Every structure is written in structure tokens, then in C-alpha cells.
A and B are shown apart, each in its own frame.
Chain A
């Protein structure tokens, strides 16, 4: 019987697998039979532990949720709900102590990138050192997992004792474009012959930059570059510029390597409000001191005393 079943197996299999019609007449008769396709969709189910059994309250003592249905005895808690924070009439703790502190809605939250991590990424072949390292490269290579409001470059362990992959001091010249950079990071990059440019980014802008819909570096107010291969028309959107005074002042500052530093005139400072202190020569200071000398002061007070005389 078993042998018979074995001998039939190829035929049965052929009959189930009706990709190409077999040519023999015997199989043709199998083909005339109908068979109903049964989809697996009705037999799908997640593993049993993914489902929780519904708790049926008030259905007898053996369930454990029988008599009081898990609500205990008497009072407001049994019959309805008690307001959140209500302590039975006693002055609630949040009323005694109140709120402390506040949430600063204007603060910018920057994602931090240590220079050592960039070094490590370059060593792993995840970042190319011969091209500008912009937020696009940093985000795509997951050097930054969440770019937040912008990317800030820090130097973290600049010379030695690097936790990441035991990188030595930075020796490769890098061209890094980020939102902010610390002075020590700028120093470390420039010492290796590279350069840092800080420029204005927003969350949305960085999303578009990753999608290659926006230029990662050049915006309308950027310093014009006279390279012919710069084709801005391939991007769908324009990179936004800093508009708030605080941001403009940051990027006008050459010590931050800001992208607007080129707009600062010869006798101007980065601030849009305060004038920079005028450069005073040593002779001028001497002259002032001489004029304001002790004899002069005495004379002045004498003069004033005379003027105040009533008699």
C-alpha cells in the first residue's frame, strides 16, 4: 500500500503543480478535474503570546474579578473616577509646591558631532575626505542619527587619548560645513590644513538636503563662488538663509568661520547693533592721559568749588 502511494507521488505532485500542462493523456484527465484554490490568508495568525485574553469582570468568583470587579469596596473609586491629582480634600502637592522652571521654546537643539567620530568614519571608509563634509554626508553615513536643529562640531580629545577607534590627532585636511563649530574644533581642523565653514540650517532644510532636493552649502547670501560646474538649477529648493538677528550675528563672526563673515566691512563687527571699539593708538592714549593729568583734576575741582561759592 505504501509502495503504491509512493509510486503515485510524482503524478499527484504534477497534478497539484499545474504550471505547464503535461502532455500525456493520463495527466490530461487529471487536468479536467477542478480543484478549489484555498488562500493561506485565512490561516494566518500571529504567535499566541502576541494576544492577550480579555479580562471578563463580574463573571463569578473563580475568575478573580468576580464580586467587586477589581474595584475594591465603596466610594468614588468604586463607582466612577476621581480627578487626577485629587488627594481627598487635602491640599494637593502640586498646589503646595507649584510649577518650577520653564521650557525654553526658542532654544536650538544641536546634534553634536565629535571630530574623532568624523575621523573614525573616514578611517572606516564611510566618509570621503576629498569632498566637503556637509550635513548630507553626515546624516547619510549615520555619523549623526538625528540632526535636530543643526549640527555642532566639537573637538573632544583633540591630541591623544581618543575613545573612538584610538584615532591619533587629525592629520587629513578636511572641508567641513556644519551649523556650529567650537573654537577648539576649528583650531584642530585648520591645524591639519583643512577648513571649517559654519552656516545656517533648519530641520526642514536638512531633510531636503538628504533627499538631494537642496544645495547643501550655497544659499543666496553665501559668498559667491565662481566655479562653472555649480549647477543650482538641479535642486528643487533654495537653501534658506539666517533671518534672526542672533543667527545673523553668529554667522557674521569670522571667529566662528561663519558663512556671512565676508559681508562684514572693514570697520564693522559681527554685531548688528553695537559698534566695535575704535582702534586707538598709543599716542592718543598718552595724549588723553596728559590732558587728564593730576594737575588738571585739581584745577577742575578748584574751579568747581569756586563756581559753587555762594558768598
Chain B
């Protein structure tokens, strides 16, 4: 009994310790998945002691009249590249970087992108497209042979293709607000798993040699044995892009306007420049901003 009590108290101390660690900014950045999760659906639990209540909120206030719970900020560390030294912290709203995982929304976004990316340019000649005459090859009766029409028939060699592919558009639709949510869901998922590395300002590497970047990646645990990395930069950095293009299974470099949701989910981690991350949040927030269309100041 006593031992059990001691164990319980010890566990309590540990939990408290872990919580305080989680509140520490450094800990929060290094171990985002270890911190307390603040999901968007989470609401603050009212404690029984009145001392914790602010004067203008009383228990008798109806739920709908209470001010919304404060939106927690998410801390991310800015690193340098390629030295990967932590520089500073940067805060993002939870609606940007701590969106709950929705596999269905990610699925819809990935399928939408895949459909949109299809060229749909397959083209075959149907019997009417094949060059040639419509002359009947044999008389209808009296030859002892099977009935035949023209030589462009799909059953003949050199004939058209029956129901062959024609150029078409495979693209499907997805509401903009859902697609925007998918972007932030993907980034949040990566962030919580510690797979989102934010770089303050990406610098080009000194050498365009593939071995150079391979060794850098091995050193900072970005490479092949660590599940590869996607480097996202604002502009093309010649040496970095050339070096990564020469490697195999190490990683990929893309500019911010060339990535999509699927890219964000593919590799072991996303190494992204801060300005690109900010522009993604700016571009893909239609579901949380809710602006009224206006022509003033256009």
C-alpha cells in the first residue's frame, strides 16, 4: 500500500517535471511531440477553485457568452543551414502549426493534386480518325467469307482502336478552404513529429559536388539513413540544387512555389526556409481568415 502511494506520488512529480520541461521554450522546440498537445478542439478546463477564475468569467456565465480560450502560440526554432546551429525562436499560431491530424483531408488534397497533375494527353485513332477509304472490302454475300466492312475496322490490322483514349481533363475540384486546411494539417503533422526544420535564411553550400551534400546530410542526420529530406527554399540556390540533383535517395530541393501537399508528406523531414513557411501560411489560410471581398484600395 505504502509502496503504491510512493509510486503514485513519484509519478505525480514526474508528470509535473515533464510539464515544466514542456513549458521550457528550448524543450518545446527540440521536442515538439513531447510537449502538451494543444489541439484546436481543446478547451480550457475550469478548475474548482475560484482563485483561478478571472473576475469577469463566472461559472454562471452561459458557455456561449464566455470569451474564447486564448489561442496558444507554437514555438519553432530557427536554424542555420548547413551548420544547423539554433539561432532563435519564432512563434506561430496554433491554427497554423498545431492543426489536428485529419487523414481524410490530407487524402482529398493528395488525390486532388494527383488528378490535377495528370496530363490526360493519351490519344489513339478511332476508326473514323484512321486515314483511308470507307469502301466495302468484299461483297456482302456470295464469297463464302465472313461479312466485312471497311479496312479501318477495329478488328482488322491497321484499323482504328475501339474506344481508345482521347485527350481529356482529369482534374477534380476541392473547396479552397479544405485545400488550405490540408496544407496546414500537413505542416502541423510534420511539426509535431519533429520533422519540420525551419531555417532562418538558407545559404548556398560551397560546392556543387554531390558527395559534399551527402556528407553534410550525413552529419546533420538528414540523409538516406534518416529517411531523406526535402529542402524548400525561396529561390534556387545553384550549388545546393546541382549537388542534390546528382545524388540518389538523399533528398530533394524545391522552391517554395513548386511544392504541394504531397511533397510535404513524402520524405523523412521538411527543411524549409522561414520566408517560404510564412508565405505558405499567408497563401493557405482562407478557412481561418474569412475576409469580406472589398474593392476599396485595390
Which A residues are within 8 Å of any B CB, using their own CB?
Answer: 2-3, 6-7, 9-10, 13-14, 16-21, 31, 34-37, 39-41, 43-47, 50, 124-128, 136-138, 140-143
The contact sample of 28 A-B pairs, CB cut-off 8 A, is A2-B7, A3-B14, A7-B14, A9-B18, A13-B31, A16-B194, A17-B31, A17-B193, A18-B194, A18-B226, A19-B197, A20-B79, A20-B84, A20-B86, A39-B265, A39-B267, A40-B106, A46-B107, A47-B104, A124-B292, A125-B294, A125-B296, A126-B294, A126-B296, A127-B295, A137-B295, A140-B294, A141-B295
- Residues of B86-130 whose CB lies within 8 A of A: 86, 103-104, 106-108, 110
Chain B minimum-CB-distance residue to A128: B296
* Complex Cα spacing A45 to B86, Å: 36
* Complex Cα spacing A47 to B108, Å: 10
* Complex Cα spacing A40 to B7, Å: 37
- Residues of B230-267 whose CB lies within 8 A of A: 262, 265-267
* Complex Cα spacing A271 to B113, Å: 55
Contact (A37, B103) CB under 8 Å given A2-B11, A20-B30, A21-B221: no
Whether the pair B262, A41 counts as a contact (CB closer than 8 A) is: yes
B155 at the A interface (CB under 8 A)? no
Whether the pair B227, A37 counts as a contact (CB closer than 8 A) is: yes
Whether the pair B106, A44 counts as a contact (CB closer than 8 A) is: yes
* Complex Cα spacing A46 to B297, Å: 41
B268 at the A interface (CB under 8 A)? yes
Whether the pair A40, B226 counts as a contact (CB closer than 8 A) is: no
Whether the pair B268, A37 counts as a contact (CB closer than 8 A) is: yes
Which residues of chain A have C-beta atoms less than 8 A from B265's C-beta?
39-41
- The B interface, classified by DSSP as helix, strand, loop or mixed, is mixed
Chain A minimum-CB-distance residue to B227: A37
Whether the pair A37, B267 counts as a contact (CB closer than 8 A) is: yes
Whether the pair A46, B104 counts as a contact (CB closer than 8 A) is: yes
Query: Which of B11, B21, B85, B104 is packed against the most chain A CB atoms within 10 Å?
Result: B104
* Complex Cα spacing A57 to B32, Å: 52
Which residues of chain B have C-beta atoms less than 8 A from A36's C-beta?
227
B228 at the A interface (CB under 8 A)? yes
Whether the pair A9, B30 counts as a contact (CB closer than 8 A) is: no
14 more contacts with CB within 8 A, not counting A125-B294, A127-B295, are A2-B7, A7-B14, A17-B33, A37-B227, A37-B267, A39-B266, A39-B267, A41-B110, A41-B266, A44-B107, A45-B104, A127-B296, A137-B298, A143-B295
Number of interface residues of B (CB under 8 A): 46
B293 at the A interface (CB under 8 A)? yes
The 7 A-B pairs at the shortest CB distance, nearest first, are namely A37-B227, A17-B194, A141-B295, A44-B107, A37-B268, A137-B295, A142-B293
Which residues of chain A have C-beta atoms less than 8 A from B77's C-beta?
19
Q: Pick from A9, A34, A126: contact of B293, CB below 8 A.
A: A126
Chain A minimum-CB-distance residue to B224: A34
Whether the pair B295, A126 counts as a contact (CB closer than 8 A) is: yes
Q: Least Cβ distance of A128 to chain B in Å?
A: 5
Which B residues are within 8 Å of any A CB, using their own CB?
Answer: 7, 10-11, 14, 18, 21, 30-34, 77, 79, 84-86, 103-104, 106-108, 110, 189, 193-194, 197, 219-221, 225-228, 262, 265-269, 292-298
Q: Least Cβ distance of A102 to chain B in Å?
A: 31
Contact (A10, B34) CB under 8 Å given A17-B194, A45-B103, A50-B104: yes
Chain A minimum-CB-distance residue to B225: A34
* Complex Cα spacing A266 to B14, Å: 96
Which residues of chain B have C-beta atoms less than 8 A from A143's C-beta?
295
Which residues of chain A have C-beta atoms less than 8 A from B193's C-beta?
16-17
Chain A minimum-CB-distance residue to B101: A40
* Complex Cα spacing A311 to B123, Å: 93
Whether the pair B106, A13 counts as a contact (CB closer than 8 A) is: no
* Complex Cα spacing A37 to B270, Å: 13
Q: Least Cβ distance of B235 to chain A in Å?
A: 24
Q: Least Cβ distance of B97 to chain A in Å?
A: 15
Which residues of chain B have C-beta atoms less than 8 A from A17's C-beta?
30-33, 193-194
* Complex Cα spacing A34 to B226, Å: 7
Q: Least Cβ distance of A51 to chain B in Å?
A: 11
Q: Least Cβ distance of A76 to chain B in Å?
A: 24
Whether the pair A14, B104 counts as a contact (CB closer than 8 A) is: no
Whether the pair B296, A16 counts as a contact (CB closer than 8 A) is: no
Q: Least Cβ distance of A4 to chain B in Å?
A: 11
Which residues of chain B have C-beta atoms less than 8 A from A6's C-beta?
11, 14
Q: Least Cβ distance of A178 to chain B in Å?
A: 14
Whether the pair B34, A13 counts as a contact (CB closer than 8 A) is: yes
* Complex Cα spacing A34 to B114, Å: 31
Which residues of chain B have C-beta atoms less than 8 A from A37's C-beta?
226-228, 267-268
* Complex Cα spacing A46 to B106, Å: 8
Contact (A18, B294) CB under 8 Å given A44-B110, A45-B107: no
Chain A minimum-CB-distance residue to B77: A19
Which residues of chain B have C-beta atoms less than 8 A from A43's C-beta?
103
Query: Which of B11, B79, B269, B293 is packed against the most chain A CB atoms within 10 Å?
Result: B293
Q: Least Cβ distance of B281 to chain A in Å?
A: 20
Chain A minimum-CB-distance residue to B35: A13
Q: Least Cβ distance of A23 to chain B in Å?
A: 12
Which residues of chain B have C-beta atoms less than 8 A from A16's C-beta?
33, 193-194
Which residues of chain A have C-beta atoms less than 8 A from B294's C-beta?
125-127, 140-141
Chain B minimum-CB-distance residue to A48: B104
Which residues of chain A have C-beta atoms less than 8 A from B296's C-beta?
125-128, 141
Q: Least Cβ distance of A75 to chain B in Å?
A: 28
Q: Least Cβ distance of B152 to chain A in Å?
A: 26
